[in-house]
Every structure is written in C-alpha cells, then in structure tokens.
C-alpha cells in the first residue's frame, strides 16, 4: 500500500514537473500540456506518415473526438489518401557497358567490345528522380554538370552531349561546396534538368572522392522527389573509374578541376552503355482525422467552419530536417505541430459543449510536411460541399508565444477580418503581427486556393524548427491557451453571425530573395505549386494576385510544360529555370488547360 502511495505521488510529481516545465499554470493549460506531451513523445517517433507513430497519433485524436461527442461524417472520422513509403524495383532494371578493347597492331574496326553487366544495389542504383525506360548511348564525362553563366562556369561548354549519357560528379567544383557561388547548383535535381536541357538522354551520378565515395545515398522516399525527364542512376565510384581513359583518369581529373575551378569535360572513347530503369513507389493509406460539431441553426448549420492543424512531423529526420548530427534522432515536433493539434483538441471540446449556429469541422491533417497533402486531399474530396465551407482557421506552431505576441496571416482574405481581429486582440491583450496573404506554407493555403477565407495562427520561428530539440518541455501551454481564447472569440463572431465572411483575392507581398547572389532567381513569377505527381508537367494550385502569372492569364489547375523554351517537369525545374531570367524579360509559358495547349506571354518582374 505504501509502495503504491509513493508510486502515485511520484507519478503526480512527474506529471506536474513536465506540465510546469511546459509553462502550464492552470487546469486548462495542464490539459493542453497533456496532449502535447503524448503527441510529442518518443513513443510516436516523430509521427511521420505511414509509420506506427503516425497511426497512434491518429487513433489518439479520433478517441478524443469521440470522447468530446464530435460526430463522424458519412459514418467515419477518417479520410485516407495514398502516401509513398518505399521504392520498388522490377527485374527490368539493368546496366550493361560495352567498351572496345584495344588490340595493338589490329585495325580499330576489328576490335571487339566486351559487355560488362552491373548489378542493381552493387555497382549502381537507380535514383528516385529518374524516369522509367531504356536508353543507349555514348558516354561523356561532364564534370560537375553545372551551367552557371553568372559566375562564368559551364561544364557543357564545347562538348556535344545530345543523345548521349553523361557522367556527372555530385557537388561542385569546390568538392562539397564551400564557395557559396556553387551551392545553388549542387543538387542532383538541378544537374539532371541541366543535362536533359543540353540534350543528354541519361545521367550517371558519381560521388566526389571521399571515404564514402562508394556508398550509395539511402533511398529515402519523399513526395518532393519527382521524375526529372531523364534516366538517372548513381554509380559506385570504383566501378565507374574503370571506364575512364588512361590519360584522363577520374581522380586526377577531379583534382585538377577543384584546383583550377575550370571545367574539363570530354567524350569517353569507345564506350557505350545501356541503362534500363523501372522504379515505382509503394504506397499506404494514411488518414486525415475529423469530427463534426453540428450547428444549432436550421439554416446556418448547412454552412461549415473548418478548424485545422496538421499532426504529422518528420519522424527520424529526412531531407526536410535541419539536423546535421551523425546519429539519427527522433524529431518529436512539439511545436510543429503537436501544439496546433492540442489547440484544436481544446477547441473541439469547448465547442462540443458550446455549439455555434454554424457547423464546425475539426480536422487534423496528415502529410503537411511533405507538401500540404492532407489538406489538398480534403479540399479536393471535401466530406461536405466545398462551397458551403465559409471559413478555415489553421493552427501551425502555436506553442512558443513570447510577450503576448501572435502572428495572424490571411487577414486580407476577407474584408471583415481586420476589424474583428483587432478588436479581439485588444480584449485578449495580444500584440498582433498581421499578414494579408491567404497563401502560405501550411494547410490554410489549400482552402484559400478553393476561394475560402482563411486565418493562420503562428507564434513564431525558433532555432528548434525541424530539429530533434523541438520537445514538449519547451512548449508554452499558457500561450496556447491564449491562442485558443483568441480563436474562440473569432469563431463565436463568425459561427453565430447571419453574415458569412466574404472572400478576397489578396496580392502577395513580394519579399526580397536570397540577396542577389549568383545562382538565385532575381525574378518573380507568382504561382502556387501543387505538390502532387503529374506526368505532364507542373500543375499549379493558383496564382498570386497581382503577379506576372496572374496578369498573363494563368489559372488554378493549369499544367506548366515549358517556360522560356525549356521543359518543366516539376517545381524544381521551374525554380532552376527562373534563375536564367532578369526583370522585364518576356517569356513564353506553355500550359495545358483542360487538355488544350495554350501559350502565354509573361513579363517577369524583380523580386
């Protein structure tokens, strides 16, 4: 009995220790702290979509919705969509080299080639940015695969790679680039696009000389990996070096390029290679989780307000992580976005007890970190008529409030917002930083693209963003309670008023780019990308008001296939192509709209 008593006291102490370390000084804030602590626990391993931790988080959220009395929609609390979790390789993948063997004293036309077959996962590995298919061609060493006219460097100058397969070193002429001039040109997606635009039909990536030169990059699945319009593989350095001529071995050539900072590209003589790639993504169904609070008014209850926050995070890291440690670490995502989910759970319980005249859908979105996938799916497959959603409130990173300061974005998406928000802020003694834009890097953007007024709440950036150190003990749960108090008043205003907020298309405030350093775009185009795969090109979710894209006539759901004469396969392509233009340039932009090809003249402006 005494042991049980001491155990109970110890657990109570631990609970309150963690709660108060999370700045929770009331029962309501302690409730929020409890939500944050579970969602950001190591048990959930960072809540990456498709993992056990992500499903546990979904189960927890659904259980709370049921506990609070929220209703399912069409018989379910979930809406699933496919999410890639692994790559699959068929037996069609192959690499076969043919190199003429020199026979002294024998005419060259009598030399014979000896085929050399590589094994997938041993001498080579297909890359996620590869297209599927088979190519055969001569082989050209194209250095680092960079064309950077603004710094006077071009690995393709003076060589013809049309219809050929290029070997390209990963990184740049600085090795692993220390010179900032080369950083924008070091990504494999850029090098694949550049090779393709120079006419190459395949690209073989090779690591620069290092201790891990023969170790392949791990095949981490990401929705940001898009086919690049070219066959692409990575080769083991030791094996690829065997095909270089004796007078231009790989290592001395690489060292000379790093020393001189000048290209040294050449045709590898008497060598051909056939590469076949057949790679696909294995997917699993992952859930958005939602619950309905019916409105009390017979008429207004047919209109809906969506309260949302994403519940996924980065798992053990991945390419979206800013962590550079050598040992993998769980990214618990306490602020991003256990804080936002805790806020909507608190609001769900409150409004279940105090329903509004309009109906409320409380939604925890999945896949936000991989390109607002869950909210995009929700909008395109809305569980209620999309035109009957009158407002969306988004909570993302609301757990680090300082000095009663709150950022609220989307204030220009309705003419009614500024007055209401300012009056509520006074009541709650909040200091607001407002942004008028309806688009932004979170789930509200999906709703704004669907012409729904939005408000996005955010307490600010910090050094733990996308780091393993974003943990529960750093969360200000009293601050989250202030955010929910602010949100309750806004929801009360719009949930109970006969008048619904109007929708306004707000101009995007142009921001300065990453100075005007070489390698970065100096122009603004103004599209809102869609992150879903599309074999035809880059589908856009919308265009920014007042942007060159809008003025030219581009619209939501257009598929951009060419920009300035260059092929656009994905967002990365467009990003790289924009670097080549300057303000006031007029470019042809080719789009597919409802199956028809249309060409627009776009006048670019400075950033």
Mark whether 229 and 353 lie in a shared domain.
no
> pLDDT-derived band of residue 255, with 50, 70 and 90 as boundaries?
very high
pLDDT in tens, 128-146: 999 999 999 999 999 999 9
Q: Are 342 and 39 in contact (CB under 8 A)?
A: yes
How far apart are the C-alpha atoms of 68 and 307, rounded to whole Å?
15
- Of 224, 247, 277, the residue that ends a domain is 277
Task: Name the pLDDT band for 15 (thresholds 50, 70, 90).
Answer: very low
Residues 579 and 527 in one domain: yes
The share of the chain scoring above pLDDT 70, in percent, equals 93
Task: Look at residue 545 in the predicted model and tell me its pLDDT.
Answer: 84
Mean pLDDT of 309-335: 93
Nearest-CA neighbor of 361 among 373, 352, 369, 353? 352
User: Is 387 part of a structural domain of the chain?
Assistant: yes
* End residue of a domain, out of 219, 244, 277: 277
- What lies within 8 Å, CB to CB, of 10 at 6+ separation is none
CATH code for position 557 = 2.30.42.10
Judge whether 366 lies within some domain: yes
Listed range (56-60, 150-154, 336-340, 368-372) with the worst mean pLDDT: 150-154
Across the range 570-590, mean pLDDT stands at: 93
Distance CA 401, CA 26 (A): 16
Is 341 a member of any domain? yes
Written as one string, the DSSP assignment of 205-263 is EEPPSSTTTTSPPP----TT----SSEEEEE-HHHHHTTS-GGG-HHHHHHHHHHH---
- Banded model confidence at residue 178, pLDDT cuts 50, 70, 90: low
Looking at residues 64-77, what average pLDDT do you find?
A: 98
Domain containing residue 113: CATH number: 3.50.30.30
The arithmetic mean of pLDDT across residues 90-111, rounded, is 87
State the sign of the Cα–Cα–Cα–Cα dihedral 234, 240, 243, 248. positive
Confidence of residue 179 (pLDDT cuts 50, 70, 90): low
Residue 268: inside a domain = yes
What mean pLDDT do residues 149-155 have? Answer: 90
**Residue 514 burial by Cβ neighbours in a 10 Å radius (0-12, 13-18, 19+):** exposed
Assess if residue 43 is contained within a domain.
yes
Q: Is residue 510 part of a domain?
A: no
248 in the same domain as 303? no
User: Is residue 29 one of the residues assigned to a domain?
Assistant: yes
Checking if the pLDDT of 273 tops 80, the result is yes
Q: Which two tokens stand for residue 127?
A: 């890359």
Segment (H or E) for 364: strand 359-365
Cα–Cα dist 340/397, whole Å: 6
Pick left, alpha or beta for residue 72 (phi over 0 → left; psi -120 to 50 → alpha; otherwise beta): beta
pLDDT band per the 50, 70, 90 thresholds, residue 171: confident
- Predicted pLDDT of residue 21: 52
Backbone dihedral region for residue 25 (phi beyond 0: left; psi -120 to 50: alpha; all else: beta): alpha
Reported as a pLDDT band with limits 50, 70 and 90, residue 4 is very low
Residues 192 and 299 in one domain: no
pLDDT tens profile 517-548: 556 788 999 998 887 778 899 999 889 888 99
Examine the domain organization and report whether 583 and 477 are in the same domain: no
Same domain as 135, residue 204? yes
Q: Given this model, what pLDDT does residue 18 score? A: 47
Burial of 147 (0-12, 13-18, 19+ CB in 10 A): buried
Task: Determine which helix (DSSP H) or strand (DSSP E) holds 423, and give its type and residue range.
Answer: helix 417-427
Same domain, 389 and 437: yes
Angle at 39 between CA 38 and CA 44, to 5 degrees: 95
The verdict on 338 and 393 lying in the same domain is yes
> Token pair for residue 327?
């040992």
Instruction: Give the largest CA-CA distance in the chain.
Output: 97
138 and 60 part of one domain: no
Chain mean pLDDT for the chain: 91
The per-residue pLDDT for 19 is: 46
Say yes or no to pLDDT of 7 above 50.
Answer: no
Residues 257 and 321 in one domain: no
Do 527 and 456 fall within a single domain?
no
The residue-averaged pLDDT of 219-236 equals: 88
Residue 515 lies in a domain: no
Q: What's the whole-number mean pLDDT along residues 4-32?
A: 60
Please choose, from the candidates 510, 394, 503, the residue with its C-alpha nearest in 3D space to the C-alpha of residue 450: 503
Tokens encoding 58:
């979904």
pLDDT at residue 325, as a whole number: 87
Could you tell me if 146 and 182 are in contact, meaning their C-beta atoms sit under 8 angstroms apart?
yes
Domain enclosing residue 223, as ranges? 91-277
Residue at a domain's end among 253, 277, 301: 277
Question: Long-range contacts: 19-27, Cβ < 8 Å, 24+?
Answer: 19/477, 21/473, 22/472, 22/473, 22/474, 22/475, 22/476, 22/477, 23/475, 23/476, 23/477, 23/478, 23/479, 24/477, 24/478, 25/478, 26/478, 26/481
Please report the sign of the dihedral spanned by the C-alpha atoms of residue 482, residue 486, residue 487, residue 488.
positive
For 417-467, write each residue's pLDDT tens digit.
999 999 999 999 999 999 999 999 999 999 999 999 999 999 999 999 999
- Whether 241 and 298 share a structural domain: no
What CATH number should be reported for the domain holding residue 72? 3.40.630.10
Burial class, 13, CB count within 10 angstroms (exposed 0-12 / middle 13-18 / buried 19+): exposed
- Mean pLDDT on 409-418: 96
**How many domains would you assign to the chain?**
3
- The Cα 207–Cα 142 span in angstroms is 13
């Amino acid at each position: 009995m005494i042991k049980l008593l001491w155990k109970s006291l110890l657990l109570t102490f631990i609970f309150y220790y963690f709660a108060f370390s999370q700045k929770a000084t009331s029962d309501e804030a302690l409730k929020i702290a409890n939500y944050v602590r579970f969602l950001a626990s190591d048990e959930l391993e960072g809540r990456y979509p498709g993992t056990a931790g992500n499903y546990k988080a979904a189960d927890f959220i659904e259980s709370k919705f049921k506990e609070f009395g929220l209703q399912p929609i069409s018989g379910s609390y979930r809406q699933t969509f496919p999410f890639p979790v692994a790559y699959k390789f068929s037996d069609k993948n192959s690499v076969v080299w043919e190199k003429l063997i020199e026979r002294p004293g024998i005419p060259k036309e009598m030399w014979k080639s000896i085929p050399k077959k590589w094994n997938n996962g041993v001498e080579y590995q297909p890359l996620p940015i590869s297209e599927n298919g088979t190519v055969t061609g001569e082989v050209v060493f194209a250095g680092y695969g960079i064309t950077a006219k603004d710094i006077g460097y071009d690995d393709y100058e003076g060589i013809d790679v049309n219809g050929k397969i290029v070997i390209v070193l990963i990184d740049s002429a600085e090795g692993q680039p220390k010179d900032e001039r080369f950083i924008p040109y070091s990504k494999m997606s850029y090098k694949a696009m550049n090779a393709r635009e120079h006419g190459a039909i395949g690209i073989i990536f090779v690591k620069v000389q290092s201790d891990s030169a023969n170790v392949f990059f791990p095949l981490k699945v990401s929705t940001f990996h898009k086919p690049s319009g070219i066959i692409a593989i990575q080769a083991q350095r030791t094996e690829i070096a065997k095909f270089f001529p004796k007078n231009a071995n790989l290592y001395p050539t690489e060292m000379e390029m790093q020393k001189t900072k000048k290209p040294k590209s050449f045709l590898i003589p008497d060598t051909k290679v056939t590469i076949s790639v057949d790679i696909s993504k294995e997917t699993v169904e992952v859930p958005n989780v939602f619950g309905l609070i019916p409105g009390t008014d017979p008429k207004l209850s047919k209109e809906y307000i969506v309260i949302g926050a994403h519940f996924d995070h980065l798992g053990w890291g991945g390419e979206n992580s800013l962590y550079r440690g050598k040992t993998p670490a769980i990214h618990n995502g306490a602020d991003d976005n256990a804080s936002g989910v805790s806020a909507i759970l608190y609001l769900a319980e409150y409004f279940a007890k105090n329903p509004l005249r309009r109906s409320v859908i409380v939604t925890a979105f999945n896949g936000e970190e991989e390109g607002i996938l869950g909210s995009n799916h929700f909008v395109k497959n809305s569980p209620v008529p999309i035109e009957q959603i009158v407002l969306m409130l988004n909570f993302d990173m609301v757990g680090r409030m300082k000095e009663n300061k709150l950022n609220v974005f989307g204030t220009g998406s309705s003419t009614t917002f500024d007055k209401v928000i300012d009056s509520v802020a006074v009541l709650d003694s909040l200091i607001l930083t407002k942004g008028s834009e309806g688009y932004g890097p979170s789930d509200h953007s999906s709703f704004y693209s669907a012409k729904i007024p939005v408000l996005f709440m955010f307490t600010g950036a910090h050094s733990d963003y996308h780091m393993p150190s974003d943990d529960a003990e750093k969360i200000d749960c009293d601050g989250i309670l202030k955010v929910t108090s602010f949100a309750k008043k806004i929801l009360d205003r719009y949930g109970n008023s006969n008048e619904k907020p109007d929708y306004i298309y707000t101009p995007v405030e142009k921001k300065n780019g990453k100075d005007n350093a070489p390698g970065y775009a100096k122009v603004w185009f103004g599209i809102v990308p869609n992150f879903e795969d599309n074999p035809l090109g880059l589908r856009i979710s919308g265009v920014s008001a007042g942007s060159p894209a809008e003025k030219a006539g581009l619209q939501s759901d257009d598929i951009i296939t060419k920009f300035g004469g260059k092929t656009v396969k994905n967002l990365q392509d467009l990003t790289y192509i924009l670097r080549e233009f300057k303000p006031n340039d007029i470019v042809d932009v080719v789009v597919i709209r409802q199956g028809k090809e249309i060409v627009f003249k776009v006048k670019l402006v400075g950033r």
